[in-house]
Amino acid sequence: MEAMSEDVTAQAFDLNAWSQVQLQRTEAALSAWVGVSAPAGLGEAMRYAVLDGGKRLRPLLVLAASEAVQGNAEAALRAACAVELIHAYSLVHDDMPCMDNDVLRRGKPTVHVAFGEARALLAGDALQALAFELLTPEGEAVPDAMQARLCRLLGAAAGAQGMAGGQAIDLASVGLPLSEDQLRQMHRLKTGALLEGSVLMGAACGQVAAVTQQALKDYGAALGLAFQVVDDVLDVVADSATLGKTAGKDAANDKPTYVSLMGLDGARRHAAALLQESLAALERSGLRDTQALRALAHMVVDRSH
Amino acid sequence: MEAMSEDVTAQAFDLNAWSQVQLQRTEAALSAWVGVSAPAGLGEAMRYAVLDGGKRLRPLLVLAASEAVQGNAEAALRAACAVELIHAYSLVHDDMPCMDNDVLRRGKPTVHVAFGEARALLAGDALQALAFELLTPEGEAVPDAMQARLCRLLGAAAGAQGMAGGQAIDLASVGLPLSEDQLRQMHRLKTGALLEGSVLMGAACGQVAAVTQQALKDYGAALGLAFQVVDDVLDVVADSATLGKTAGKDAANDKPTYVSLMGLDGARRHAAALLQESLAALERSGLRDTQALRALAHMVVDRSH
């Protein structure tokens, strides 16, 4: 009976309504914190890169994980914004001519097209610094130990053994045949590290046992990989208008993808298996309030863009 | 008598010997921490950008300030490396074709010449993340409150209201006539923020009274500005071989400088006045062990490269 009533709760959870509330707070915070009083057009470029765009999956993961552990709300909001700034800066730099040379992002001209390459470079750099500034407010609202831990997690997720490292592998692997293991390793770093880091940062806003921490890490890892597999599928099946970015780019750039490796159906089955893996990890966590995390995992796999 | 014996101590202080000891520790730490097990050539580019190069003025300022406040040695070493990583990443990005398009740095090809633009971009990004990773080690060696404070200071020094903001002003001011106030504001951010931040981070490795903190901040601000004034003088009077970078670049790029504003003698007098300002601030600090800080201020103004 108890299991059944839990199931009813899960079905009754309204992800859209929940997300709307969380995103409203997140957008307001980002707007208040990003590019304010930055000099010489830098603030405009930073705001352009961050505001009014994207699914905000990473902030939602932070906030959902923090909710699951009854975390410090101020810390969670700051962490949510910080991971989004890292994500946003990576897109700005990734779109630049020396990297992917992309002109369209979220349906708008990319930052270097709108503001010039030099300012895009600087805006990305400043966004990364701002992420760490947001995590370290003066005063008592976020305990020192939490600030330190959040910076540690974000630094690791963003750096050479996280996102930046994954981008370097991506860069080096264009035109090369990759095994599934190599492809997984690339994505584990390139997109996975920051998605997993988002979950861990949300968890770091509360107090959790080691077993819960590990389960949330497993959830984040499976979800992160599922996200990329679905991205590869969408790059093939969706059009640019739906994606808000240039579709078919990976094939055009001769980049290895899950679809090129497993075929379209194989990749879809793989995504479904990873969804189950992430849900199983949540069950292992011992946490009760995981509806939002569960719903986000479903959303990642079922999304159309 | 006491003032005189202090003076004797100051003269007896051997900056070269002190620096050699500090730099040996710093180089060893950087070599152990930078680019290790980073994938796909990223680590090589990071190490190339950081190791065996530069005067290491910022690390020396951190270590001298920490010494003056009897700071936590492990924290100071990490902070010394972190500020140098921020400095190094800014040079990598600044040298790129979309910014200053420079091919020579510290007498070697710049990172984008040696490793390609895309990898230079990523190496810079990863170096910034690594700076914050270094400041947040697990374990007890560096107290949480100190970690949080160091991240706060570094984020502010590096970001839109610090170094990156100054670079944006620099970018926007090419070919424009700047007043001395505008020029000072640009340099206060572009180079000053990280130099001042280095001093404050060193101080944050110990416990200091507010008045001492302010005095050290004033010292760092005056020294930071002096550094830039001397840079402008050297850009005119030194040759590329001595500088280890392209000389005469500012004039060629039609950039406003202290020399173009004040003339060569005026700029030299200004640097000397700033040196006195920084030394006066140290006297206000109430700290006794400021020989290294004093000597570093002299070095900044008297250097030939």
- Of the pLDDT bands very low, low, confident and very high (cuts 50, 70, 90), residue A249 is low
The C-alpha angle B62, B63, B64, rounded to 5 degrees, equals 95
Residue in B46, B135, B161 nearest the CB of A160: B46
* Interface residue A145 vs chain B (CB under 8 A): yes
The verdict on a CB contact (< 8 Å) between A38 and B172 is: no
Please report which confidence band the pLDDT of residue A174 belongs to, taking 50, 70 and 90 as the band edges: confident
How many secondary structure helices (H) and strands (E) does chain B include?
Answer: 16, 2
In this complex, the residue of A99, A137, A154 whose CB is nearest that of residue B121 is A99
| Calpha distance A261→A61 (Å, rounded) | 29
Cβ pair B40:A171 closer than 8 A: yes
**Does the pLDDT of residue A6 top 50, yes or no?**
no
Looking at chain A, which residue has its C-alpha nearest residue B40? A169
Q: Which residue has the tokens 């969670």?
A: A76
Q: Hey, is the C-beta of A3 within 8 angstroms of any chain B C-beta?
A: no
CA B50/CA B46 separation, integer angstroms: 6
Minimal CA separation from B86 to chain A, in Å: 10
Q: Which residues are CB-neighbours of A143 under 8 A, at least 6 positions away?
A: A72, B144
List of chain A residues whose C-beta atoms are within 8 Å of the C-beta of residue B79? none
Number of Cα atoms under 13 Å in the Cβ half of residue A25: 17
- Give A 111-140 residues with CB within 8 A of chain B: 116-119, 121-122, 124-126, 128-130, 132-133, 135-138
Please give the domain boundaries of chain B with CATH numbers for all domains.
2-302 (1.10.600.10)
B125, B136, B171: residue with CB nearest A148: B136
d(CA A177, CA A195): 26
AA identity, residue A288? R
pLDDT at residue A245, as a whole number: 61
Q: Rounded to whole angstroms, how far apart are CA atoms A136 and A196?
A: 21
Nearest-CA distance A145 → chain B (Å) = 5
CB contact under 8 A, A151 and B156: no
Query: Which pLDDT tens digit goes with each residue over A47-68?
Result: 999 997 788 999 999 999 999 9
Phi, psi dihedrals of residue A151, rounded to the nearest 5°: -60, -40
Task: Provide the 10 A C-beta neighbour count for residue A299.
Answer: 16
Express each pLDDT in A79-96 by its tens digit: 999 999 999 999 999 999
Strand ranges inside chain B, DSSP E: 104-105, 108-109
Considering only CA atoms, which of B115, B118, B145, B132 is closest in space to residue B44?
A: B115
What is the mean pLDDT, run by run of 10 residues, along chain B of 305 residues? Answer: 45 90 97 92 97 91 98 98 98 96 92 97 98 97 98 98 96 85 92 98 97 97 96 85 62 77 94 98 96 97 86
Percent of chain A at pLDDT > 70 equals: 91
Cβ partners under 8 Å of residue A245, min gap 6: A102, A104, A105, A106
- In chain A, the residue whose alpha carbon lies closest to the alpha carbon of B101 is A118
Separation CA B99–CA B171 (nearest Å): 8
CB spacing of B151 vs A149 below 8 angstroms: no
Q: What is the DSSP letter of B245?
A: B
Q: Please write the tens of the pLDDT for every residue from A212-226.
A: 999 999 999 999 999
Is residue A36 very low, low, confident or very high in pLDDT (cuts 50, 70, 90)? very high
Nearest-angstrom CA–CA distance, B160 and A158: 19
A162 Cα to chain B: minimum distance (Å): 9
Hey, what's the torsion of the CAs at A10, A69, A165, B148, to 10 degrees?
A: 160
pLDDT digits (tens, 9 = 90+) for A132-171: 999 999 999 999 999 999 999 999 999 999 999 999 999 9
Cβ atoms A72, A142 nearer than 8 A: yes
Which of A7-21, A240-254, B30-44, B272-286 bottoms out in mean pLDDT, i.e. has the lowest? Answer: A240-254
**Interface check A183 vs B, CB under 8 A:** no
pLDDT greater than 80 at residue A286 = yes
Question: What does the block give as tokens for B62?
Answer: 């951190």
How much is the pLDDT for A107?
Answer: 86
Lowest mean pLDDT among A20-29, A194-203, B61-70, B247-256: B247-256
Task: Check pLDDT > 60 for residue A78.
Answer: yes
Chain A residues with beta carbon closer than 8 angstroms to that of B161: 37-39
**Confidence band (pLDDT; 50, 70, 90) for A182?**
confident
- Is the CB of A133 less than 8 angstroms away from the CB of B118? no
Nearest-by-CA chain A residue for B163? A126
CA-based nearest residue to B156, from A138, A150, A198, A77: A138
**Min Cα separation A182/chain B (Å):** 12
Contact A256, A173 (CB under 8 A): yes
* A&B contacts, CB < 8 Å: 184
* Largest CA-CA distance found in chain B, in angstroms, rounded: 62
